[in-house]
Amino acid sequence: MSIYDFKVKEMDGKEVSLGDFKGKILIIVNTASKCGFTPQYEELQELYDQYKEQDLEILAFPSNQFAEQEPGDNDEVRSFCQLNYGVNFPLFAKGDVRGENALPLFNHLTEQKPFQGFDSNHQFGGILQESLEKNFPSYLEGNSVKWNFTKFLVDRNGQVVGRYEPTTSPLDMRVDIEKIM
């Protein structure tokens, strides 16, 4: 199965095929508006502005699964992202990114790129690990998405080539993005 075989819903409920993004480089990310990592929207927008002419697309999927940090509806999410971070890359309908109701896309992404741990050198790496161990130990099992702002890099052929946990700044993905351009 290819990334292009999946269909997702836009915020207005319209179904879209990821096949529409064939030939583009994708960053697929689960997001939340009330998370300590929410400022990553700014860096994602910076990447988008820098590379969109070279066919980079950022596909954001809001989720309320992690400590209920995305409580708003789709319109509230869109408004928040535009007003606070100037986001103009695609935002998709809010949904689950892990567990039995996870979007099939995210199950595919995590199968292709398993969890390798958090960056222990990042100021929040240890804190995130400890918080999950204490409050959400089941989240650390398996390869599913562990927290908001987990990012997946997909090449122009639809291959998942990288997974970046929330502790990785989007700007730190530049080298890997440029390698596949």
Query: pLDDT tens-digit profile of 89-142?
Result: 999 999 999 999 999 999 999 999 999 888 777 777 777 888 888 888 888 888
Q: Which residues are catalytic?
A: 35
- pLDDT digit string (tens) for 155-169? 999 999 999 999 999
End-to-end CA distance of the chain: 23
Number of alpha helices (DSSP H) and beta strands (DSSP E) in the chain: 5, 6
Looking at residue 89, its pLDDT comes to 95
Residue that the structure tokens 């222990």 belong to? 120
User: What is the extent of the structural domain holding 93?
Assistant: 3-179
Cβ-contact 44, 30 below 8 angstroms: no
- Domain tally, the chain: 1
Q: Are 118 and 42 in contact (CB under 8 A)?
A: no
Give the per-residue pLDDT at 69. Answer: 93
Rg from Cα positions in the chain: 15
38-64 burial, b if ≥16 CB within 10 A, otherwise e?
A: bebbebbbebbeebeeeebbbbbbbbb
Angle at 79 between CA 74 and CA 84, to 5 degrees: 130
Which of the four pLDDT bands, split at 50, 70 and 90, describes residue 2? Answer: confident
CATH code, 118:
3.40.30.10
Query: What pLDDT score was predicted for residue 100?
Result: 93
pTM for the model: 0.94
**Burial of 94 (C-beta count, 10 Å sphere; 0-12/13-18/19+):** buried
Pairwise CA distance, residues 169 & 167, whole Å: 6
Q: Note the pLDDT of residue 140.
A: 83
Q: For residue 45, what pLDDT is reported?
A: 97
Q: What is the pLDDT of residues 12-64, one digit of tens each?
A: 999 999 999 999 999 999 999 999 889 999 999 999 999 999 999 999 999 99
